[in-house]
Structure 1
């Protein structure tokens, strides 16, 4: 006979916990209903505005630079996860793991230099071009 029979585990703690959770949910929702504010403003029924008057169209054009930055953030964020996991298993991986992460970080650095060189990290107008155009503008003397 097996003394460690799991079918005889009492289920009452689960039901007590479930009853407490549903009781707490009922209390919170009831208090919110009775004590909460009720108002009907002009913008309350409009979708996606949450009671704030709309200020314009939601159809705005964004530069592709924003999407490039978002993709680079996701890529480098995932790579940070790999580096942290390597750091957690540092002793088990030894020198081969160290050499592998050095190659990995070297590739990350090479990709960052490449993105920088092709202008993926440049935002706004080029400062040198602005200064060059400013020097060629005819300056007017103020009339006193």
Structure 2
């Protein structure tokens, strides 16, 4: 009897794994048959951020792409912490609610800080370097 109860407990995980492997194989085979078969010189060239770099001295990548990635990771991890709190809501009671509220207030303070320093503004970050320097020098005049 003990062996059948173990099988009954583990079969959903085994079925999930088998379905996952079958879907993976199906998608790989489908992409092989439906994917493009053209060969070109640019197909195998290395690129970074989707832009092929011809001359490394003239290509400049801003750090705002990395800032957005870092902000996403930070706020995503904090969401995971809040999700864990929601799952254990019955066990933590009012003390857990107060702690989660403080946590959310810290998150909101960080978000307000990011907005105030302009870290989330796209307009000035996507301008070429010369335009940014002109904007800075124009602000210094006034």
TM-score where L is the length of structure 2:
0.52
Q: Structure 1 CA distance, aligned partners of 2:34 and 2:116?
A: 56
Are the equivalent residues in 1 in contact too, given 2:46–2:52 (CA < 8 A)? no
Classify 1:71/1:45 alpha carbon distance in 2 versus 1 (closer, same or farther; 3 Å). Answer: closer
CA-atom RMSD, angstroms? Answer: 4.3
Q: Structure 2 CA distance, aligned partners of 1:103 and 1:95?
A: 12
The reply to whether residue 95 of structure 1 matches residue 62 of structure 2 is no
The answer to which of 61-70 and 95-104 deviates more is 61-70
Are the equivalent residues in 1 in contact too, given 2:114–2:120 (CA < 8 A)? yes
What is the aligned partner in structure 1 of residue 69 from structure 2? 70
Determine which structure has the larger helix proportion and give its number.
Answer: 2
Which structure has the greater CA radius of gyration? 1
Where does 1:18-97 land on structure 2 (aligned, <5 Å)?
41-43=39-41, 46=44, 56-57=52-53, 60-97=59-96
Classify 1:116/1:86 alpha carbon distance in 2 versus 1 (closer, same or farther; 3 Å). Answer: same
Q: Structure 1 CA distance, aligned partners of 2:67 and 2:43?
A: 36
**SS at 2:120 equivalent:** coil
Are the equivalent residues in 1 in contact too, given 2:82–2:100 (CA < 8 A)? yes
Stretches of structure 2 lacking an aligned partner (at least 5 in a row): 4-20, 126-134
Q: Summarize deviations over 1:84-116 as a string: whole Å, max 9, x none.
A: 111111111100000000000000000111111
Stretches of structure 1 lacking an aligned partner (at least 5 in a row): 6-20, 50-54, 134-144
